[in-house]
Amino acid sequence: MSTGYSRLTGENPFKGKRRAPFTEEHKRKMSLAMKGRKPWNKGKKGVQKCSKATREKMSISHRDERHWAWKGDSVGYHALHRWVQKHLGTGNKCEHCKEDFSGRFIQWANKSGKYKRRTDDWIRLCARCHYKYDEEVLKSLHGYNRK
């Protein structure tokens, strides 16, 4: 089948040229061929609307492990922290210094350093205590020093 491009020049020989207009007979034949066909979009009104109950069922059926993009424990750092915040919420008190921060500086710190999806492996800390906690945990677990 021809692609419309010349093998010699590599250009389309039909570029800039117009097709000849349809004859009246050809127009009549096309019209007859289309008689009785139902358009594909007849009766459709844009986006289909679902009931509130159906939307809720669809939402439940695509949550967490059933979602097509679920990665389990091989999730990235930020996505895991979002997951933790979704399941444990945001707090306003640091679990170490017990100071009230109204949610501004509270961060989620991982206890084991393995970053698993276990809610008992996370604690709420203020930024200052989180830094100190990471210094102690990272040094003891991995022999890592920030300085």
CA distance 52 to 34: 40
Give residue 103's pLDDT: 55
In a domain, 76, yes or no: yes
In a domain, 117, yes or no: yes
Indicate the SS3 state at residue 100.
Answer: strand
How many structural domains compose the chain? 1
126 vs 100, more confident? 126
In a domain, 86, yes or no: yes
Indicate the SS3 state at residue 107.
Answer: strand
101 vs 86, more confident? 86
What is the value of pTM for the model shown? 0.53
Q: DSSP class of residue 106?
A: E
Domain that holds residue 90: 71-142
In a domain, 59, yes or no: no
CATH number of the domain that 124 lies in? 1.10.30
